[in-house]
Structure 1
Amino acid sequence: MPPLALAPPIEVLLVDDQRSILAGVAALIESEIPFMRIVGQAVSGRQALDLACSIQPDVIVLDVDLGGEDGLELIPLFRDCCDASIIVFTSFSVPEVQYRALHLGASDFVSKTATGDALVEAIRRTVR
């Protein structure tokens, strides 16, 4: 009987201007190896767009506020350069922000106050 082939890991790009958030989310996702892995981290919109276009991740986890820069404005730009699902991960959990994110093409919206399991499940759900 041939060995079971494992699906390739879900490749995730993290975008947040707060390095402590990047470190925590990266540790959470890396704990899901071999099912998920971090392929890049960005602290600015320009850096995120460059990485998304070159790396072609499966999922982008995107913060709304990138040090005064509107992260949601990146969603259509990501759509132009890669096929990644975009999960907005933010502390701005007001309905208007969620509606705008989804209207621009985000696949899901997860509050930073949610559990780590909620973010991991959102990543899995977006690639199913």
Structure 2
Amino acid sequence: MKLILMSTILCFASCNLLAQSIYIDAVSNSLGNNSGTYKHVIVQRGLTYEIVLTENDAIFNTHDNAKMVNLGVMYVQPPRKMTIKTIEQGKKTYVETEGNLYFFFVDDARLNSGGATVDIKEVNQ
């Protein structure tokens, strides 16, 4: 009984992304001259996801509080088309992917601070 329950919990956690919120950091997830890496999120292949930028306090210049107003998401759209879309505050973005989402800001990150939260929700099966 414990084995079945544990298997069910593990499968739910890894097989079904119903909805989740993730944080993209304006320093470590900024791609530019001073390196940085994207935020990688694994999702189920072949489904459509709704992505919404829900909170954003990302700054690209801490001297004058200049805001970043959007961020990027890169993914492979079936059949095998590399795609980059812009995620904007208050707008829903829909993606179908082969299983991976890569979120990022574009800047050198030297004077960045804050970040953004996006909600990812499965909209079909």
TM-score, reference length from structure 1: 0.29
Q: Please identify which structure carries the higher helix content.
A: 1
TM-score, reference length from structure 2: 0.29
Q: Please identify which structure carries the higher strand content.
A: 2
More relative contact order in 1 or in 2 (CA 8 Å, sep 6+)? 2
Is the radius of gyration larger for structure 1 or structure 2?
2
